[in-house]
Amino acid sequence: MLIGFLCALGAGLMWGLVFVAPLMLWDYPGLVLSFGRYIGFGLIALVPALFDRERLAALSKADWMAALRLALVGNILYYAALATAIQLADAPLPAMLIGTLPVVIAVCSNWSPGHPSETIAWHRLAPSLIIIFIGLMLVNISELEHLDGKRPLADYVIGCVIALGAVAAWTWYPIMNARHLKRNTHIRSSTWATAQGLATLPLALAGFAVYGIYVHAGDSTYAFPLGPRPLPFIGLMLTLGLCASWLGTLLWNRASQKLPTSLTGQLIVFETLSALLYAFVLRGQAPASQVVAGIVMLCVGVVLGIRAFRNA
């Protein structure tokens, strides 16, 4: 359990970088950042694939199909939906909906576990989930003050619906990913991370090409393909591909093998906490008291969740 906890913490620290990238590359469309990140992931994955080619060759057709589905839903569709929702409804509302993921994943995985050993009594699970949910609301609700209020109501509604699609996609991903790894214990975490990177690369390249056609056919002012700041864009996309995607996926795979899915779902709060930390450091600001209270409740909820599973 300790190893799984530390791996989930490491994955959260890596994934938090994804939320800083749009702040650093504010003049790039969200879809470009999404496709760029996963092109970086696929290119980075080519390197470990050379050293792990024997294990990759041993993967079955079913394994590769699973990797392709996970890459499509958990990577491409999730971030495309999130980026579109933010563009339509501004960042605060979609971020608040995405913030419910730790609770939604834990509830769904406990409701429909892949194995009886994955379940835990609801009265043991409920306290940590309630505290985590309150903490998430405290952290995210302050962001609603930053809504610009300049968009049509229809854009807010459509954006929130698309954000719910992103929630559904990333609820499905960790549950299915954990089930596949636990059914196939011979697959190493690093091998599975590399396989997903290889599966993601053609999808990301195709999406990027389609976006390029859209730019050239429409009235977009974006300088396709590398935008107004090519070197920072390339450097940051490769950094995200290595840290947030390949290494983050590797650590999450390891955590998924070691911990019940209902617990790993709660531990996604580390992504939220890391994103907050990086954002406040980048802005040079201290968090408001309401945000601090939310962070404390998130930490308390995680501790209670771990204790519940240890005593189950």
- Find out whether the peptide bond into 225 is cis, omega within 30 degrees of 0: yes
Q: Along the 312 residues of the chain, how does pLDDT read in single tens digits?
A: 889 999 999 999 999 888 788 878 888 888 898 899 999 999 999 999 999 999 999 999 999 999 999 999 999 999 888 888 877 887 667 777 887 888 899 888 888 766 665 678 888 889 999 998 898 888 877 666 666 667 788 888 898 899 999 999 999 999 999 999 999 999 999 999 999 999 999 999 999 999 999 999 887 889 999 999 999 999 999 999 999 999 999 999 999 999 988 888 889 889 888 888 887 888 788 888 888 888 899 889 888 888 888 765
**Cβ–Cβ < 8 Å for 204, 38:** yes
Phi and psi of 114, rounded to 5°? -75, -15
Phi and psi of 192, rounded to 5°? -70, -35
- Nearest partner of 98 among 163, 35, 185, judged by Cα: 163
28 dihedral zone (left: phi>0; alpha: psi -120 to 50; beta): beta
Query: Three-state SS for 178?
Result: helix
Query: Three-state SS for 129?
Result: helix
* Beta carbons within 10 angstroms of residue 178's beta carbon: 25
**Cβ–Cβ < 8 Å for 88, 154:** no
Here the tokens at position 271 are: 């992504």
